[in-house]
Amino acid sequence: MLNVLVACEQSGVVREAFRSFGHNAFSCDILDADDDSPFHIKEDVLKVLNLGWDLMIAHPPCTHLAVSGSRWFYKKEKEQAEALDFVRALMYNDIPSIAVENPVSVISSKIRKPDQIVQPYFFGDPYEKTTCLWLKGLPKLEVTLKVKPEPRHVTKSGRSLPTWYNIPPSVKDRAKIRSQTFPGFALAMAQQWGNYLEAQTIV
């Protein structure tokens, strides 16, 4: 059984995937968990990094990092610098095994290139969402069930977007919905990385 910290998660999707395989997994965020789980720590994650975790899966907020918002970077240099410092604190701490997850972002140019780039449709979720992984002490994920992603949505302006991303601004919690981890991806992380680390412990 591994002690797993899922940083910056409200949904509980990744936390529950690890718990389904018998691991002692907790999510952590400054906001309440969406599912009111007792296995959620409402706290600044930087304050709980030293509690003996074997593995951390981190989802740092991408608001000031994702290249999809690059046209606004000139207005938020301070915010972006702070966001990058937060990523470094997660990426370079003493937890033995770490995965930092983000969309295509300035992490690649400002810190380092990702170790792997995956899509939800690699793991049975029929969606396109380019996801970068920065890994420490973990192998790259293997494709579990490659499926055809849903057709892209074309806006009136001619812009092509993944279907899941086409959420009107009027929808409540739009940003949170866009940032959630798809369940097949979460299960792949829990099964593959959980098995890998448990095997290392046995050896």
pTM of the model: 0.85
Mean pLDDT (whole number) for 68-87: 72
What range does the domain containing 35 cover? 3-202
Under the banding of pLDDT at 50, 70 and 90, the label for residue 82 is: confident
In this prediction, residue 200 carries a pLDDT of 85
How many whole angstroms separate alpha carbon 47 and alpha carbon 60?
15
Mean pLDDT (whole number) for 29-38: 95
The residue ranking higher by pLDDT, 12 or 167, is 12
Which tokens go with 26?
């907790």
Under the banding of pLDDT at 50, 70 and 90, the label for residue 68 is: low
Q: State yes or no: pLDDT of 100 exceeds 50.
A: yes
The total of structural domains in the chain comes to 1
Average pLDDT, the chain: 86
How many whole angstroms separate alpha carbon 130 and alpha carbon 119?
5
Under the banding of pLDDT at 50, 70 and 90, the label for residue 149 is: confident
Q: State yes or no: pLDDT of 18 exceeds 50.
A: yes
Distance of CA 180 to the CA centre of its chain: 8
Under the banding of pLDDT at 50, 70 and 90, the label for residue 106 is: confident
Exposed, middle or buried, 66 (CB in 10 Å: 0-12/13-18/19+)? middle
Q: State yes or no: pLDDT of 150 exceeds 70.
A: yes
**How is the chain classified by DSSP, letter by letter?**
--EEEEET-SS-HHHHHHHHTT-EEEEEESS--TT--TTEEES-GGGSTTS--SEEEE----TTTBGGGGGGGGG-HHHHHHHHHHHHHHHTSS-SEEEEEESSBTHHHHT---SEEE-GGGBT------EEEEEES-PPPPP-B--PPPPPEE-TTS-EE-GGG---TTSTTHHHHHHPPPHHHHHHHHHHHHHHHHHHHH-
Q: State yes or no: pLDDT of 28 exceeds 80.
A: yes
Under the banding of pLDDT at 50, 70 and 90, the label for residue 174 is: very low
178: CATH: 3.40.50.150
pLDDT, tens digit, for every residue of 160-172? 555 555 555 555 5
